[in-house]
């Protein structure tokens, strides 16, 4: 080097030598910077960039498991799974979401479609973590996305199973529905098993048995190209499908009950009195749970939530009503057990009952004449039970009512059950800061006033009379099965107590209930069958106070001020099997509006299904099972 420099000094002009020296310095500096940068990237940051490189080509994909089937007691599939398709984005950077959304919007618009997504997702988005852009996209949308795949790097169509509710509205308030997990649900997940985007049970059976139904998610590690398309699977953990539920519900009775109610607001339930199994459970109006499986629209949600008839309220367990004359059986039980009357004890009904300066009228304005307990139950004489109510008193009556299960939840395996109201002197003082009036006891004696019960409570009480006094916890699930049909867990009858009535008095009460349906003058004679095997009681529950005219007749109200109609029954009289309760809101008299509904259920229960019915149900079940196909490569054992 010194030799070269000396030669340059001897043979080149001075200005050339200075430019060469400057260039030499610049080249040396640049080479040094390059070497230092390479060393920094290779040694200092090598591990980080290696990880970034791998994350750009390797993706983690969650595989959604199939939820368990829900079947009726006969194995008919009521809830199944069906394939759906979501639009998924695998970002390298969260900011990419906006660019992809703009491209999708442009492509959709060019094809006459509309694209919507939540761009606020970029606040929680992480590189390489999938973001769902749209749920349940149509086949046309799938075709558009696949056609423009090169313009949409990282965007893929992912199959996923969603629920299919086979009986739509008639089973919605029992089965419930599923939906995407909320932040509130995530906060309650102490085990950390759930994550954003998971589908869980939101209502009814789907919610109560979600841990059994949901299964366990699987996962795949896949390699993708620059367009986000999978080139190969590097590893896989298969998902575990959820367990199946076998209900106590009978699909055939469920449909008969739904059809018999004819769209009127109300509730219908049937129970096996021998074990507490619910055979049918209807609440009307209802809703289509399939609206929720693929993401309910704002318009549909607004229509449901603002409906004045509250279609999302389960009237069978959450609706509370005055029990009307169906409550008279509790009053009679209390009077018998307390020794205040005997079956032969008579009272005279001239159409009204005097207490102080007020007159309480019977529904039969001309009166029933002299009656004993049996005929008072058969003809539902108000005056007879006014006398019993005065004898028993409010607090004693409340004690017996609670012994029948009123005023507390039954414990059925559904959320949102209400306990109703059974008033006492202390209750009124605590609630209204007012003392109890004896006239209020008179109203309670015929099931009016502060009394409020649910259809399920009334059904359970009469089922206890039918079976000799045992109170069974109502239940909807018979057993939980593995996907291949093995019984994982069975739910047998669970006794929760006995009604506080002696066997001899139960026989007296049940004979009276038999007379209601089978004797002349019985208020439930419309349900009379040639077999003479039904015991029941009608009831009329006031919606508003009935201001009575001078003749003693109640004014006839119409519309939403009209009385609710009750009917509750069990059959057969000897060795009972089934109990049924019906309430028709604003239906008027129980014998006219509610009893015919119960009659159809009783008739169907004791009549074997016709061959065409059996064939139709079997075909529907097979069709449903055929749609239960694996999604995302899932395999069901």
Judge if 180 and 263 occupy the same domain: no
Judge if 263 and 238 occupy the same domain: no
Judge if 234 and 331 occupy the same domain: no
Q: In the chain, which stretches have pLDDT less than 70? A: 1-17, 41, 43-59, 91-95, 118-129, 224-230, 544-560, 610-637
pLDDT of residue 363: 92
Structure tokens, 443: 């109203």
User: Rounded distance, CA 69 to CA 289, Å?
Assistant: 15
Pair 54, 150: CB distance under 8 Å: no
pLDDT of residue 63: 82
Look at residues 216, 247, 278 and tell me which one is the last residue of a structural domain. Answer: 247
Pair 162, 295: CB distance under 8 Å: no
7 within a domain of the structure (yes/no): no
User: Rounded distance, CA 198 to CA 175, Å?
Assistant: 19
108 within a domain of the structure (yes/no): yes
Judge if 444 and 468 occupy the same domain: yes
Judge if 375 and 397 occupy the same domain: yes
Look at residues 200, 222, 247 and tell me which one is the last residue of a structural domain. Answer: 247
- Active site (annotated) includes residue 325: yes
Look at residues 195, 224, 247 and tell me which one is the last residue of a structural domain. Answer: 247
Judge residue 195's burial from the number of C-beta atoms within 10 Å of its C-beta, 0-12 exposed, 13-18 middle, 19 or more buried.
Answer: exposed
User: Rounded distance, CA 628 to CA 80, Å?
Assistant: 6
429 within a domain of the structure (yes/no): yes
620 within a domain of the structure (yes/no): no
Judge if 225 and 260 occupy the same domain: no
Q: Which residue has the tokens 């985007």?
A: 197
| DSSP bridge pairs for 539 | 566
47 within a domain of the structure (yes/no): no
Q: At what angle do helices 139-147 and 96-110 cross, to 10 degrees?
A: 110
**Neighbouring C-alpha atoms within 13 Å toward the C-beta of 500:** 19
Judge if 67 and 146 occupy the same domain: yes
Buried b vs exposed e over 97-127: b needs ≥16 C-beta within 10 Å?
beebbebbeebbeeeeeebebeeebbeebee
Judge if 219 and 274 occupy the same domain: no
46 within a domain of the structure (yes/no): no
Judge if 292 and 238 occupy the same domain: no
634 within a domain of the structure (yes/no): no
User: Rounded distance, CA 270 to CA 438, Å?
Assistant: 36
Q: For strand 70-71 and strand 244-247, is the pairing parallel, antiparallel, or unpaired?
A: parallel
CATH number at residue 83: 3.90.1310.10
pLDDT of residue 549: 39
Domain with 166 in it? 59-247
DSSP 165: E
Give me the numbers of helices (H) and strands (E) for the chain, helices first please: 24, 23
Judge if 255 and 226 occupy the same domain: no
Count of structural domains within the chain:
2
The candidate with the shortest Cα–Cα distance to 309, out of 585, 593, 565, is 585
pLDDT of residue 514: 97
User: Rounded distance, CA 355 to CA 367, Å?
Assistant: 17
With a CB cutoff of 8 Å and minimum separation 6, the contacts of 2 are: none
Judge if 449 and 351 occupy the same domain: yes
Structure tokens, 199: 């589908």
110 within a domain of the structure (yes/no): yes
User: Rounded distance, CA 451 to CA 323, Å?
Assistant: 7
Q: What is the pTM of this model?
A: 0.83
Judge residue 514's burial from the number of C-beta atoms within 10 Å of its C-beta, 0-12 exposed, 13-18 middle, 19 or more buried.
Answer: buried
Pair 425, 395: CB distance under 8 Å: yes
- What are the strands, taking DSSP E only, across 413-520? 470-472, 477-481, 487-490, 495-498
User: Rounded distance, CA 225 to CA 288, Å?
Assistant: 42
CATH number at residue 272: 3.40.710.10
The candidate with the shortest Cα–Cα distance to 155, out of 101, 96, 90, is 90
Pair 207, 413: CB distance under 8 Å: no
Q: Per the residue annotation, which of 128, 284, 286, 325 is the catalytic one?
A: 325
Residue 402 backbone dihedrals phi, psi, to 5 degrees: -70, -30
The candidate with the shortest Cα–Cα distance to 564, out of 538, 592, 582, 585, is 585
pLDDT of residue 61: 74
User: Rounded distance, CA 298 to CA 35, Å?
Assistant: 60
Write the DSSP assignment of 292-304 as a string of letters: HHT---HHHHHHH
The candidate with the shortest Cα–Cα distance to 513, out of 615, 617, 375, is 375
Pair 594, 565: CB distance under 8 Å: yes
Whether the upstream peptide bond of residue 285 has omega within 30° of 0, thus cis, is: yes
pLDDT of residue 21: 74
With a CB cutoff of 8 Å and minimum separation 6, the contacts of 135 are: 84, 86, 294, 295
Judge if 201 and 297 occupy the same domain: no
């Amino acid at each position: 080097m010194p030799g070269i420099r000396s030669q340059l000094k001897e043979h080149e002009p001075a200005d050339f030598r200075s430019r060469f020296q400057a260039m030499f310095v610049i080249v040396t500096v640049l080479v040094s910077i390059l070497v230092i940068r390479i060393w920094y990237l290779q040694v200092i940051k090598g591990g980080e960039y290696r990880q970034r490189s791998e994350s750009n080509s390797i993706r983690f994909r969650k595989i959604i498991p199939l939820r368990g089937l829900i079947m009726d007691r006969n194995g008919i599939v009521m809830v199944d799974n069906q394939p759906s398709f979501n639009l998924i984005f695998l970002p390298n950077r969260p900011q990419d979401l906006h660019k992809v959304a703009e491209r999708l919007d442009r492509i959709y618009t060019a094809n006459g479609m509309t694209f919507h997504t939540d761009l606020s997702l970029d606040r929680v988005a992480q590189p390489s973590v999938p973001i769902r852009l749209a749920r349940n996209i149509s086949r046309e949308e799938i075709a558009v996305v696949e056609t423009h795949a090169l313009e949409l790097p990282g965007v893929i169509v992912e199959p996923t199973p969603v629920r299919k509710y086979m009986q739509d509205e008639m089973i919605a308030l029992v089965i419930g529905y599923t939906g995407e997990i909320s932040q509130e649900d995530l906060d309650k997940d102490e085990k950390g098993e759930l994550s954003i985007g998971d589908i869980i049970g939101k209502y009814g059976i789907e919610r109560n048995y979600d841990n059994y139904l949901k299964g366990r998610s699987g996962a795949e590690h896949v390699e993708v190209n620059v367009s986000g398309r999978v080139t190969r699977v590097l590893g896989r953990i298969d998902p575990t499908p959820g367990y199946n539920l076998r209900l106590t519900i009978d699909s055939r009775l469920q449909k008969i009950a739904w059809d018999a109610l004819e769209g009127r607001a109300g509730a219908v339930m049937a129970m096996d009195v021998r074990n507490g199994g619910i055979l049918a459970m209807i609440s009307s109006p209802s809703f289509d749970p399939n609206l929720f499986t693929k993401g309910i629209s704002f318009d549909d949600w607004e229509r449901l939530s603002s409906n004045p008839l509250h279609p999302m309220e389960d009237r069978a367990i959450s609706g509370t009503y005055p029990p009307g004359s169906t409550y008279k059986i509790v009053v009679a039980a209390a009077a018998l057990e307390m020794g205040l009357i005997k079956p032969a004890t008579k009272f005279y009904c001239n159409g009204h009952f005097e207490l102080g300066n007020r007159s309480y009228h019977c529904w039969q304005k001309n009166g029933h004449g002299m009656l004993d307990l049996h005929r008072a139950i058969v003809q539902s004489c108000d005056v007879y039970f006014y006398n019993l109510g005065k004898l028993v008193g409010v607090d004693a009556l409340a004690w017996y009512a609670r012994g029948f299960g009123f005023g507390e939840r039954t414990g059925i395996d559904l959320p949102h059950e209400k306990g109703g109201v059974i008033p006492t002197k202390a209750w009124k003082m605590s609630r209204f800061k007012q003392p109890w009036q004896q006239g209020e006891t008179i109203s309670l004696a015929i099931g009016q006033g502060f009394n409020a019960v649910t259809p399920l409570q009334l059904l359970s009480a009469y089922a206890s009379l039918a079976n000799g006094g045992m109170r069974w916890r109502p239940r909807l699930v018979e057993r939980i099965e593995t996907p291949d049909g093995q019984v994982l867990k069975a739910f047998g009858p669970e006794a929760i107590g006995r009604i506080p009535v002696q066997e001899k008095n139960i026989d007296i009460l049940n004979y009276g209930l038999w007379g209601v349906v089978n004797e002349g003058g019985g208020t439930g004679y419309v349900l009379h069958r040639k077999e003479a095997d039904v015991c029941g009681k009608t009831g009329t529950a006031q919606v508003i106070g009935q201001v009575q005219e001078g003749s003693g007749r109640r004014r006839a109200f119409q519309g939403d001020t009209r009385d609710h109609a009750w009917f509750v029954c069990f059959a057969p009289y000897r060795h009972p099997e089934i109990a049924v309760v019906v309430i028709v809101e604003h239906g008027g008299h129980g014998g006219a509006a509610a009893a015919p509904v119960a009659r159809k259920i009783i008739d169907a229960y004791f009549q074997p299904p016709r061959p065409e019915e059996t064939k139709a149900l079997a075909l529907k079940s097979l069709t449903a099972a055929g749609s239960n196909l694996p999604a995302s490569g899932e395999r069901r054992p």
